[in-house]
Structure 1
Amino acid sequence: MLKLVSWNVNGIRACVRKGFLDYFYEVDADIFCLQETKCHKEQIELKLDGYEQYWNDAKRKGYSGTAVFTKKKPLSVQYGLGEANEEPEGRVITLEFDEFYLVNVYTPNAQRDLARLSFRLDWEDELFAHLQNLDAIKPVIYCGDLNVAHRDIDLKNAKSNQGNSGVTVEERAKMTHLLDHGFIDTYRYFYPDREGAFTWWSYMNKVRERNIGWRIDYFLTSERWKERLIDSYIHSHILGSDHCPIILEME
């Protein structure tokens, strides 16, 4: 079995102080993906026995960033999109393994006033091309904080949030477009109608206790791999960030 975890830790240094390593070793993933690390690799001494570490740090310290910890060494690693193999915001890491590609992503937020919506949509087009190119070679596992509640079932107060960042027609359409072109949302594959399944909650008072949240963290896979899926689930009981970990198990 292959077990993968994805978690927006909202600052890995803070998350480590809140018990990250206890969870990391308890869950015992084959591949563990982080988003919003908010530090450069040299700013933290993270010894993870048995794991290779790959970090894509944002140039700006304390901002964005992704990382992948894997028991098996990949055949190749690419940072960012396109041919540059670098990016200023540290949002994408692609690892190639024998049977598949893993793409770990921290999608840009359109921001409260939607000031970054056009940037986000252009970025989504680049990412779509990247995923399609990989999928033409071998199956893809695509995960991370995708910053979109795809359907109304994916957030608590859908009506009052219509048009807000993460719930715009344009952002949702980008996800739909990907799902229409050979990818599946693994959580909804297993639990198409489950309500209250959220991965992010505001830090406002008692919001998480009352489960007023959004599902914006995902594992997507190439549709032709659906027969290999075992389960996709959410560890909403795990604290340490405003997001919680999500898990994918495959044969």
Structure 2
Amino acid sequence: MKRFFQVVEKDTSSKRVKSNGEKEANVGSGKEPLVFMSWNANSLLLRLKKNRTELADFIQQLDPDVIAIQEVRIPAAGCKGGMKNQGEVKDDTSSSREEKQILMRAISSPPFSNYHVWWSLGEAKYGGTALFLKHHFQPLKLTFSLDQTSPALKHETDGRVIVAEFESFRLVNTYVPNNGWKDDENGFKRRRKWDQRMLDFVLQVSDKPLIWCGDLNVSHNDIDVSHPEFFGNAKMAGYTPPNEEDCGQPGFTIGERRRFSTILSHSSASKRNWSTYSFIHSIKRNRLYSKKAEDLVYVHSNLQLFTHKESGYKEVGCQAREYRLGCFHCPQTCGSLHKESGYKEVGSHAREYRLGCFHCPLCCT
């Protein structure tokens, strides 16, 4: 989905961010990115092996300025049991060297070669994020932690964060920990700590507008899931959480939804929040089917939808598009729609880029 985001251009001098995790990145080119794509790849290497052509066509057609990727599932450089370099790809074994060669060959070819890439990787084939930015855009600063007072080279555990600061805004790419089903260190407790740190982060960076993208592992409104009652009552067999606010499907518990709403209310990104599922419902509710739905414009201030034939279209200035990838991870994406009666009405006109993935790339401008 594409969405309008106004960025004020400024004339500034240009100095390049030289390397992944450089401590101080100086003033950028003056022109700033406008088109953003966010995608949980569930193994970027696997997508490049099996669906490189489809993915390349998708990126070529969309032509995003920024591609934020989560769950790249590429291990960080470093020996087993030793220190890891989370900004570099592992290549100290024959299998990891082979995988790195495949990866580098792919991203060295168009359209990926049009981008500079920064990595924040985990110790194993789990988690990890990547940020692809067109070469002619230069961030002022890049960091890899929610703690903006920590050294710039410090990465989050499992490579969950990349923050890029530009003249007019900041962009944060996050792979948020799953809440899990139990009140333990890898479940509820971990997620509560993350949410508190995320709240601290948005308060630290409130001096500029924030674009927050990634796999946020939360659906904080009923409209964001297909069956709210079902997900609200979901539970793990043989286990009942000690607190009522932790009951339900991970990502849809009362506690997670409340904390996420608190984060948004304190964030400069709060007025720009949206979800794919509510967008689809808006299409149905306004009966904007077939070709008419291809020219929708999403207006974040009042959630109105316009077609290109309406007067409001020119005032807003861009289209909204939805790319259907046959995904299943989030109930609010389009994986189930192709089996439903409304699919032909809502989605048959939409381009279907089937990458065999678990998550939808979402786009906004």
Q: Give me the TM-score of the superposition, normalised by structure 1.
A: 0.78
Q: Does 1:244 align with 2:363?
A: no
Which of 113, 118, 141 is the aligned partner of 2:189?
118
Distance 1:209 1:176, change over 3 A: closer
Distance in 1 separating the partners of 2:283 and 2:222: 10
Distance in 1 separating the partners of 2:230 and 2:155: 38
Which of 35, 40, 48 is the aligned partner of 1:3?
35
Verify the 8 A CA contact 1:114 1:165 in the aligned structure 2. Answer: no
Structure with more strand by fraction: 1
Alignment of 1:1-251 (within 5 A): 2-16=34-48, 17-18=50-51, 19-40=54-75, 42=89, 43=100, 44-45=103-104, 46-47=107-108, 48-59=112-123, 61-71=124-134, 72-82=137-147, 83-84=150-151, 85-113=154-182, 115=184, 116-135=187-206, 137-162=207-232, 163-182=248-267, 183-187=270-274, 191=279, 194=282, 201-202=328-329, 208-210=335-337, 237-240=352-355, 241-249=357-365
- Secondary structure of the 1:119 match is helix
| Identity fraction in percent | 27
Deviation at 1:113, TM superposition (A): 4.2
Verify the 8 A CA contact 1:236 1:245 in the aligned structure 2. Answer: no
Unaligned runs of 5+ in 1: 213-234
Deviation at 1:194, TM superposition (A): 2.6
Q: Deviation digits for residues 142-174 of structure 1, max 9, x if unmatched?
A: 111100111111111211111111110011011
Q: Give me the TM-score of the superposition, normalised by structure 2.
A: 0.55
- Secondary structure of the 2:353 match is coil
User: What code does the residue aligned with 1:33 have?
Assistant: A
Unaligned runs of 5+ in 2: 1-5, 7-33, 76-87, 90-99, 233-247, 285-321, 340-349
Number of aligned residues: 222
Larger radius of gyration: 2
Q: Deviation digits for residues 12-67 of structure 1, max 9, x if unmatched?
A: 012222232221222110111000000145332122222111110012x2100101
Distance 1:170 1:56, change over 3 A: same
Deviation at 1:87, TM superposition (A): 2.1
Distance in 1 separating the partners of 2:116 and 2:178: 29
Cα RMSD after superposing both structures: 2.9
